[in-house]
Amino acid sequence: MDDAALRTGPADAPYWHALSEGRLIMQKCQGCGEWKWPAVSRCGDCGTWEPEWHEIALEGKLFSWTRTWHPFGGTEGIGTPFVTVLAYLPHARDRRLLGLYEGDESLLALDLPLVGRIATTRFGDEDIPAIRWLPA
């Protein structure tokens, strides 16, 4: 993706671009220092335009989880049952990111330390860049 596409795309275009290259970047406002998520083009707290992106380690802790059993449309490429985790990122003031979970499901508990790896999820005909969370 070229620079022009990143500027004119949605505010989170750089996130997807980085993820597809195997890196996690998150937005931190250079005006007030606040980590922003979802991505924004203007920081609503201090009014700074185009908050900067920073690469951070793919490390989190478990905030919540669910195991999906019903074969909802669009999840055929995953296959049920599967576990989705909402992880909070201590490196980005606990902003939260979703991801599929891989690993021992008996460990699922609040604040379980997690590490992420970047993969893709099949949705329809598309492979979407995605985070997989694993026990640290």
Partner 1 sequence: MANGLMGKVAAAGVGVLQYKRAGAPYGERGVLTRAIVAACEDAGLDPADVDGFVSYGDDHNQPDRLMPELGTKEIRLSTSVWGGGGGGLLGAFELAAMAIATGQCKAAVVFRALVQGNSGRLSSAVMAHHVNNHFVAAGITAPAQICALRAMRMALQHNLPQEAVEQLVLADYYHGSRNPEAVSYGQQFDIETYRKSRWIAEPLRLFDCSRENDGAGAILLVSAEHARDLKQKPVYLLGAATGAEKGWGDLLENDDDYTSTGFEPVARRLWEMTGLGPRDIDVTQLYENFTYQGISSLVGHGLISWESAAEDLKFDNLIAPSGKLPVNTSGGNLAQGFIHGINIAVEAVRQLRGQSANPVPDARTCLVCGGPGSPINSSAIFANELP
Residues that bind partner 1 (CB under 8 A): 12, 16, 37-38, 63-70, 72-75, 78, 81-82, 84-86, 95-100, 109-110, 121, 123, 128-131
Residues 91 and 59 sit within 8 Å (Cβ to Cβ)? yes
d(CA 58, CA 22): 10
Minimum gap (Å) between residue 15 Cβ and partner 1: 9
Instruction: Please state whether beta strands 126-135 and 95-101 pair in parallel, antiparallel, or not at all (unpaired).
Output: parallel
Q: Give the residue with the Cβ less far from partner 1, 43 or 85.
A: 85
Q: How far is the CB of 52 from partner 1 (least distance, A)?
A: 19
Can you read off the two tokens belonging to residue 21? 């290259």
SS3 state of residue 62:
strand
In the complex, the smallest distance separating the C-beta of residue 55 from partner 1, rounded to whole angstroms, is: 18
Shortest Cβ 6–partner 1 spacing (Å): 16
SS (H, E, C) 67-113: EECCCCCCCCCCCCCEEEEEEEEHHHCCEEEEEEECCCHHHCCCCCE
